[in-house]
Amino acid sequence: MNHGGAASRVDNIRRSLVHLKMPRALEMLDATLRGIEQGKIDGIEAIDILLNEELSLRENRRIKAALRMARLPIIKTLDGYDFSFQPSLDRNRILALAGLDFINRAEVGVTTRK
């Protein structure tokens, strides 16, 4: 293979990624190309990796922008919830429900206590 030609093609890919505003794909390009050279991934996998990385970055940016626009005071998660504040809540049950495993088991997930 003509390494000069390959280098030129890689430079063209870099320019295209810059023009297409795909910074994460550009950032991942060298590592992805090394994976191809080492035989760890093929061309289709490389394209998939680069596109998925870029889509993930864009989705994360979209979510952050939406949260900023919503002007929520703080992002809260179950990890930071003080279960001692509401002792009637079953901590283990709430965390199990948050895992959403009941969906894969096709269960309703919520049952009433007697």
Decide if pLDDT at 9 tops 80: yes
Tell me what the mean pLDDT of segment 10-31 comes to.
97
Angle CA(102)–CA(108)–CA(113) in degrees, nearest 5? 105
Q: Which two tokens stand for residue 41?
A: 């991934």
CA angle 16, 19, 24 (to 5 degrees): 80
The pLDDT tens digits of the residues spanning 67-114 come to 889 988 887 888 888 888 888 988 888 888 888 888 888 877 555 554
- Taking only the tens place, the pLDDT of each residue in 47-62 is 999 999 999 999 999 9
Q: Are 113 and 93 in contact (CB under 8 A)?
A: no
